[in-house]
Amino acid sequence: MRTLVIGGGLSGLAVAHGLQGRGQDHTLVEARDRFGGRILTEPFGGAAFDLGPAWFWPGQPRIAALTDRLGLQRFDQYAQGDLIYEDAQGQVQRGRGFASMQGSWRLVGGLDALIQTLVQGLSPQDLRLNAAVTALAQTDAGIVATLATGDRLHADRVVLAMPPRLVADIRFLPALPGAATATLQSVTTWMAGQAKALAVYDRPFWRDAGLSGDATSRRGPMVEVHDASPATGGPFALFGFIGVPPEGRSDVPALRHHLIAQLVRMFGPQAATPAQLFVKDWATDPFTATQADRKPVHAHPAYGMPRPLTALWGGTLILAGTEVAAEFGGYLEGALESAEAALLTMRV
């Protein structure tokens, strides 16, 4: 039985590894020109900086076991020193705020080290990049996937390891039940409306000043900032979640100006000249976000596998991805949890 896995993020790669371990035929296709999905690590100055997810936590057994098994090194999020709080008028107070990522772990080499190690463990002939699936058709001989290139791939079953709203954009023949389509469109894509900024510096001047790098702001554009430096050596970095809604950050030069101005307000004049300022707006990434994902999310969504998304096409369409994880939805752990559940489904 041949399985087509659509989506080369952490969940899709984990499914592919499981199938390979069973000796089952499979193909993994990814729409982007890289694997990783929402995991995006930018190299700079000999270090690696995450612009998607960056952390995982104790109590998340799958990601800890996987990184250990692959021989990857984790390290504690830097949290030594005072916190910074910026009020709505731009007044900065030292010693106020919260270190929301304290106690979390990061990976040496960034999370792309995990992705690349997983990719290297798969057979190259089973992998395909730049392969966006536009249609899936159920036939007497199985399922036919049509790619944006016009190519067609044949499989007996399909694992959709991608955000549900992107699944809804695929043309299905026959069409999915109305309840399934409506459910797919209703599931919020985790972090898809977010934008993130990361400023790289030659020296960790905030540490030298007794600051942890953790900051919160009611003025913005960043609402939350953390130290994003590597485990050892430099260069060093400050990372921030941008709180401006998608429609308010389309002027990228203006946004970058305001980001630097805020860093100067909070951390002093040495923040004015980063060696590099990365900005990643996930809301404009067509392989992550839909128009519906531009609406603000004010709380962690209640994820899990909705009943209308089970047993699609007689069980030959299987969803994976962190948004359908029962316990850890939205986290890296959830991506692995959903892959585990998909593989369990395929044992039956």
348 band by pLDDT with thresholds 50, 70 and 90: low
Q: Would you say residue 87 has pLDDT above 60?
A: yes
- The answer to whether 343 touches 16, Cβ cutoff 8 Å, is no
Cis peptide before 174 (omega within 30 of 0): yes
Q: Would you say residue 320 has pLDDT above 90?
A: yes
Q: Would you say residue 108 has pLDDT above 60?
A: yes
Q: Would you say residue 11 has pLDDT above 60?
A: yes
The yes or no reply on domain 44-107+193-284 and CATH 3.90.660.10 is: yes
The yes or no reply on domain 1-39+111-188+300-348 and CATH 3.40.470.10 is: no
Q: In whole angstroms, what separates CA 54 from the centre of its chain?
A: 9
Distance of CA 315 to CAs 17, 173, 180, 244, Å?
21, 15, 13, 41
The residues spanned by each domain of the chain are: 1-39+111-188+300-348, 44-107+193-284
> Could you read off the pLDDT of 258-287 as tens digits, one per residue?
999 999 999 999 999 999 999 999 999 999
Categorise residue 189: left if φ over 0, alpha if ψ from -120 to 50, beta otherwise. Answer: beta
Nearest to 301 by CA among 292, 311, 310, 313: 292
**Distance between CA atoms of residues 106 and 74, nearest Å:** 5
For the CA atoms of 255, 260, 261, 265, the dihedral, rounded to the nearest 10 degrees, stands at 140
pLDDT of residue 90: 94
pLDDT of residue 100: 85
Could you tell me the pTM of the whole model?
A: 0.96
- The answer to whether 4 touches 157, Cβ cutoff 8 Å, is yes
Q: What percent of the chain has pLDDT over 90?
A: 96
Q: What percent of the chain has pLDDT over 70?
A: 100
Q: What SS3 state is found at 36?
A: strand
pLDDT of residue 300: 86
